[in-house]
Amino acid sequence: MTTHGRITLPIQEGLDDVIPGVLERLGADAVRNSDGTWLPESVSDLAAKVYETYFVARGDQAWALAHRDERTSVYLQSNRTSALSADALDLRVMDGYFSDQVEPDIACDTARWWQVIDRTTGDVLSSDQWEVSGEGADVTVTIARPTAHHVYTVNFLARQTWDSTQMYNYLTNGWQDDPTRVKEQPYDARYPATWEHMREGLQEWLDVHPQVDVVRFTTFFYHFTLVFDDQARERFVDWFGYSASVSVPAMEEFERETGIALTAEDFVDEGYYNSPFRVPSTTFKEWIAFQHRFVTARVKDLVDLTHADGKEAMMFLGDNWIGTEPYGPHFAATGIDAVVGSVGSAATCRMISDIPGVRYTEGRLLPYFFPDVFHEGGAPAVEARESWAAARRAIVRSPLDRIGFGGYLSLALEHPDFMDVIEGICQEFRDIHKASNGSRPAVADFSVGIVNAWGQLRSWQTHMVAHALWYQHTYSYVGLLEALAGLPFTVKFLSFDDIREGVPEDVGVLINAGGAGTAFSGGPEWLDVDVQAAVRRFVATGGGLIGVGEPTAATWGGATLQLSDVFGVDREVGWSLSTTRYTVEDRDHWILAGTGGTFDRGQGVGAVSAPADGATVLQFRDSSVDLAVNFYGQGRAVYAAGLPYSADNARVLHRAIYWAAGRETQADHLGWSSDPRVECAWYPNTRQVFAYNSTADAVRTVLSGPFPEREIEVPGYQSVWIDAQ
């Protein structure tokens, strides 16, 4: 039986006759437009809430062209160039960059805001050692007397001449031949005149859009770092990047507030652009906090205007989201009613659904209705099933209030099998809400803490490069979050400051996961004796510690993993190859029970060994420890060389957490499936069990827990509710 509600559907002009039927079929109660589409005039006649996209920092091309010096800016680094002699060296700063997207800002005080750096020595050249010439794509920096065979770069400030999101959509959808589409230039709220124009523009828009119920801000002022190369391809993408949040007025105000005189290198960061994988500098963390204060204050003003017009304010978690960190200290003060974001995995779903301080959250499910998926020979129905299976694991634990889709409905309608699939997804989502009756399933009586250099600010956001995309170097770590997102634990994200004086009392198991030197492992933070002592004390007094990859890595004092004594393993860096080590496997350990006996380490790290008096090794391959356990005082530790997501690995992590906490006997108290491909959630308030299959295979499994044991079969990607009254 089809019920209605909790679904947002993208619609567009030209589909007036079919839209009502599609809304009824999917049970959708809200409609929206997408970037590049417009709502039909008949939208007011639909019995649905109306969302409309609003762009704060782009869309008024006349304003952008009349205020070229108030466009948004970005810091970039020129290509590394070697001086082959001591003769004058020319560096064309735009080589390798897309000239339609950015242009060097030669109107600013280049001596102050640009930098030329000898990357061989790290020295910054004084401004009298170089000069700038040319315009646009031909801007050149000439170093009069370089040191032969040294490498040089230019850190330069550039104006954005094309909005990053519109550029991406433009190129992805082949809009080049559409004369009605203008390449929109973004403008910066830091400039008083532009800020007032933004406020006035929103008010005017509100006045002429009475049919809109929800203003879907997409998003606000500063885009994440998305830079294209001279072939119009992605060159650098950092979904968390702040390199495009800069401007001369902002940097001058930052110095007045903090006393810190910023340089271009504070943003260029040797070409790493303060990637979230870098342990953040104090200055960069100050910049994030500074922009967060500014952006959230301005956002509150826009939200107040929206509320005064009787409309809701919704923020899209993407595009120009920089400064609106949803787990930042000032986000709730904006008054935003809702956050909507793209759900590419269970972890990204939790990133949205766990956001505090909003009335409701909404997930935009994949695939997006764009030609890159919806074309002849494409398989959008397959992607939809897989996307839903991943999202559902998270939704069960931390429910989204709504789900929806984006893009061109006309493309989706060309794939009837896809429409069949999403009809079932929409209904199952509503069924979960109805059956759970607003309650959440039971969770363990202790929390799991994840410690890294970012802490709460990056809740459910670790090891991402671009939002929810797969990368060889990260999948073994992202899998940890992906598994946790669907497990029955309260998860907390902690910074090293949060544990320096001691691990919080409600945390039963602490996790540190990441590569050596990254923000997620912690790098130099592990050389702090207070941090080391706090974690050792926590484990010695009965706590659990889980490390993945190169946890606590900071080579010092004869160890690579600073808590190698706790883990019972260490990583060989080539300095102690003369030491002989003997390894015996124990594959019958409780942690591996019911998982096929083989653990998938993913990419792993290699060269991890355990001394004879160290950890118990559960899996040893290619002369390296994949999985091991150790006792330390009254507590326990687990080491894994990697943890890509799979049903079996999620089960291994599930069991590892209970083992590390010393609570193996409680593992099935919240519901347990004998086959890890089917997971279950126990709702004590309603005495119901929800069992769901996240794979394409039909699975027969035995459910046990605080209810009578029973055997069930769950078809591929399907689910079942069981009344355990």
- Whole-angstrom Cα distance, residue 352 to residue 447? 20
- Cβ(181)–Cβ(163) below 8 Å: no
Which pair of tokens denotes residue 347?
């972890």
CA distance readout (Å), 198 to 188, 245, 301: 9, 17, 11
- Cβ(330)–Cβ(310) below 8 Å: no
- Cβ(639)–Cβ(608) below 8 Å: yes
Q: Which of 118, 319, 354, 626 is catalytic?
A: 319
CA angle 500, 501, 505 (to 5 degrees): 110
- Whole-angstrom Cα distance, residue 35 to residue 408? 10
- Whole-angstrom Cα distance, residue 562 to residue 48? 58
DSSP string, 84-121: SSSS-EEEETTTTS-TTTEEE--SS-HHHH-EEEETTT
Strand, helix or coil for residue 421: helix
Backbone angles phi, psi at 572, to 5 degrees: -80, 125
- Cβ(395)–Cβ(432) below 8 Å: yes
Which DSSP symbol is given to 644?
A: -
Which pair of tokens denotes residue 688?
């119901």
85 burial (CB, 10 Å; 0-12 / 13-18 / 19+) is exposed
- Whole-angstrom Cα distance, residue 703 to residue 225? 47
Handedness of CA 193, 198, 201, 207 (dihedral sign): negative
Residue whose C-alpha is closest to residue 406's, from 20, 5, 30: 30
- Cβ(194)–Cβ(187) below 8 Å: yes
Establish whether the linkage from the previous residue to 249 is cis, with ω within 30° of 0: no
- Whole-angstrom Cα distance, residue 520 to residue 276? 9
Q: Would residue 319 show up in a list of annotated catalytic residues for this protein?
A: yes
- Cβ(170)–Cβ(127) below 8 Å: no
Classify each residue of 184-212 as buried b or exposed e, where b means 16 or more C-beta atoms within 10 Å of its C-beta: bbbbbbbbeebbebbbebbeebbeebeeb
Give the active site residues.
319
